[in-house]
Copies of this chain bind each other. A is one copy, B any other.
């Protein structure tokens, strides 16, 4: 991986590159989350204003810019992508019973599960209204399909949770569906409205996919890492939920009988004792599974970067490469 393109400010570089477009996206987001039912913009605004990096919509913008797009259809699509993401987060937090999101109380913690479910539905619906406006059958197919696949991935994750025998293969299927699909669609539709060739479409989709997998691998490593607290999330959530992510799957595979019994008790039977999280961290450390998870992320990141090879050099291409580095380096 080309270390010289690595930068601690890769998100800022990307943000600056697409600054004008991103302003328009933020305006579209605020406009489209309005409703005469005041609770809707309140609840949606809580989550949307809490920030997040706008990583997915920026991918749409940068992908369009990579092809020197001069139109404005990418704005609504970027907002659409963020709405799909936000709706998913709202429902995720309900399903995971999370109290914290982006360093703040989660919407379900403040307003309860009911409004979170329904406002999530509203944002999903709004995302579809936004994609219709792009007036491109292919764009609508890509985004509506991504939305289905995400839901499938979330259900699959629910099923594989609390199964200490969950396989790496099932895990990869989950993160491909719940995370990478939207990254891929975000890049793909940005290129599509900008008139990408078939090969360019494929490259953008593959870039988004590989980036998304790398992103989620790091996310799952971070859940067991001290750095996690800095990201405004609780540490060890996945452990307590029995969500079988790669660091644990590798530790189970490499563990002896006693260790396997520990994972079975905690992840499958959800029986916890004091000190279990510390013991789990010790086992991940013993078997180097956090490092191996990051290594895996690095490999996907390298693929993402090489997916961009077919595009001529540009500021957008550099920014998209930088984002890969950023996604991986937030592990450190």
Residues of A within 8 A of B (CB): 35-37, 39-40, 87-88, 91, 94-95, 113-115, 117-122, 124-126, 128-129, 132, 135, 137, 140-141, 144-145, 147-148, 150-152, 154-156, 158-159
Inter-chain contacts of A37 with B (CB < 8 A): 152, 155-156, 159
How many Å lie between the Cα of A272 and that of B235 in the bound state? 42
How many Å lie between the Cα of A124 and that of B158 in the bound state? 19
User: Given that A125-B144, A128-B144, A129-B144 are known contacts, is A118 also in contact with B135, CB under 8 Å in the complex?
Assistant: no
CB distance from A185 to the nearest CB of B (A): 12
Interface centre among A94, A118, A135, A145 (most CB of B within 10 A): A118
Q: How many copies does the complex hold?
A: 2
How many Å lie between the Cα of A159 and that of B40 in the bound state? 11
How many Å lie between the Cα of A147 and that of B91 in the bound state? 17
Inter-chain contacts of A39 with B (CB < 8 A): 155, 158-159
- CB <8 Å contact, B121 and A91: yes
Inter-chain contacts of A158 with B (CB < 8 A): 39, 114-115, 118
Inter-chain contacts of A94 with B (CB < 8 A): 113-114, 117
- CB <8 Å contact, A118 and B155: yes
Inter-chain contacts of A147 with B (CB < 8 A): 121, 124-125, 128
CB distance from A274 to the nearest CB of B (A): 27
Inter-chain contacts of A137 with B (CB < 8 A): 132, 135
- CB <8 Å contact, A155 and B122: yes
Inter-chain contacts of A95 with B (CB < 8 A): 113-114, 117-118
Complex partner residue of A117 from B91, B122, B128, B148, CB under 8 angstroms = B91
How many Å lie between the Cα of A112 and that of B29 in the bound state? 32
Residue of B whose beta carbon sits closest to that of A129: B144
Interface centre among A115, A125, A150 (most CB of B within 10 A): A125
List 16 A–B pairs whose Cβ atoms lie within 8 Å, in order of A's numbering. Answer: A37-B152, A37-B159, A39-B159, A88-B121, A91-B118, A115-B155, A115-B158, A119-B151, A122-B152, A122-B155, A128-B147, A129-B144, A129-B145, A132-B137, A132-B140, A132-B144
Complex partner residue of A148 from B125, B148, B154, B156, CB under 8 angstroms = B125
Task: Kindly list 5 other residue pairs between chains A and B, CB separation below 8 angstroms, not including A40-B152, A95-B117, A95-B118.
Answer: A36-B152, A39-B159, A122-B148, A125-B151, A128-B140
Inter-chain contacts of A88 with B (CB < 8 A): 121
Inter-chain contacts of A154 with B (CB < 8 A): 118, 121
